[in-house]
Amino acid sequence: MRVAIIGAGLAGVTSAYELAAEGHRVTVFERRGSVAAEGSFANAGFVVPGLALPWTAPAFPAPFRPGFGWRFAHWRAARDTALPERQEKLLRLAQFSLARLARLRRDLQLDYERAEGQVVLLRTAKDAAAIAPGLALLERAAVAHHRIDAEQCRALEPGLNPDVPLHGGVQLEHGEVGNARQFALQLRTEAQRLGAQFRFHTTVRSLTPGQPGAPARLVHEYTPPKEQGGGLSRFPADAANFGDTEPMGLGPIEHVFDAVLVCAAADAAALLAPLGLMLPRSRMHGYSITAPLRRLEAHPDLGPRAALWDQQRQVAIARIGQRVRVAGGIEFGGSGDKYNPAAVALLHDALHDWFPGAMQQGQVQRWKGAFALLPDGLPLIGASGLPGIWLNLAQGATGWPIACGAARALAGPIGGRAAEFELGGPGALDTTRLA
């Protein structure tokens, strides 16, 4: 089959690999110049089934409150009697995904600066009480975890600041942290070895669903950044790095495909709306800061050993190789080029609380990336209801915990065979819940 994939983030790259491995002719369209260039670029890096959905999340704190319309949709979604079943299915998908990631890592010899271990930090007894419903959900989904006291938290992470009040924590087993972009770059290479083609600096303008006896149509346009002289290049600026040296024609170009998989995350709503598939307003931005860890012989555990989640502040702290990354702060809407000082300050404050002096402040890299999050907190994965159009969207701020599993689960149905993980039916994660 001829399969088009729109978007080359984690969802798009994993889908490209799985579909190419099934023998399909895959073409990936990405408006940026590389894979994992937007929401997957510098995310938290968590691959933890227990954190695949925001079960620990409190009400959104200021200044990150959403508008009334989104809050109302969130309130209504929380009262859907089918929501717990869908949440449980998502956690099971995350477990399936972690197993698939482990298989890919072994078979393809992938190295993406991974470290094992995940602890949710609870500052107060109130924090511990607030996550009781989330722990019950983990129990139902058979996600391995257990409560630990403050002393056990500090044994797992000796670098934690002893002066910060710590009530206890939750150790989430069978999870890891790593460099999501490095993983995406390596898997893109593997997909290309299987015949997948990547078209960077290419924007998809429109989709037309298939009809009986006719394939789906996709109109795309080469949209490279302007050169220094103000003109446009007909070759991708980083073609040498990505193996796509074919010159691109200028202006809209139409191609036909047997299936189109939309993985464009935050930009999918505008692309799907003309087809009558109306997605809730879902574009958001997340923040992260990354810097080298300070190295002091007298304090070998100056920073984190693996990954931690500050439940009260909703901030992730992780070790990525010899760097520390802090991620958190949700901005509803907004633009990618304007940083909210309060969001950046939140990240610095959280790191200073738990690991003071761990980061080399003179080398801090800020990042802000767009992602999609629907009011019920669940992704859209599976058949769209439109002939030839499939979805792999709205995985949230991280996306990695379910990326490999979602791609594997979709590869079968797109190619006409049974799915290894059933996405529809009871607890459906596809568009049937939006009807």
Which are the contacts of 31, defined by CB distance < 8 A and separation ≥ 6?
201, 202, 203, 204, 223
User: Which residue, chain included where needed, has tokens 């439940």?
Assistant: 311
Query: What does the alpha-carbon distance between residue 55 and residue 68 come to, in Å, rounded to a whole number?
Result: 21
Where helices occur in 162-260 by DSSP H, the ranges are 180-193, 239-242
Q: 177 — phi, psi (to 5°)?
A: -135, 150
DSSP H or E run through 176: strand 176-177
Secondary structure of residue 252 in the 3-state scheme? coil
Please write the tens of the pLDDT for every residue from 215-245: 999 999 999 887 544 444 444 445 444 445 4
Cβ atoms of 360 and 293 within 8 Å: the answer is yes
CATH of domain 2-41+182-281+376-434: 3.50.50.60
Q: What is the mean pLDDT of residues 199-226?
A: 91
So what's the pLDDT on residue 246?
A: 59
Please write the tens of the pLDDT for every residue from 40-99: 899 999 999 988 876 655 556 555 677 778 788 888 888 888 888 999 999 999 999 999
So what's the pLDDT on residue 35?
A: 95
Q: What is the mean pLDDT of the chain?
A: 88
Q: Model-level pTM?
A: 0.92
Cβ atoms of 369 and 334 within 8 Å: the answer is no
Query: Structure tokens of 158?
Result: 């000796």
| Residue 258 burial class via C-beta count within 10 angstroms: exposed 0-12, middle 13-18, buried 19 and up | middle
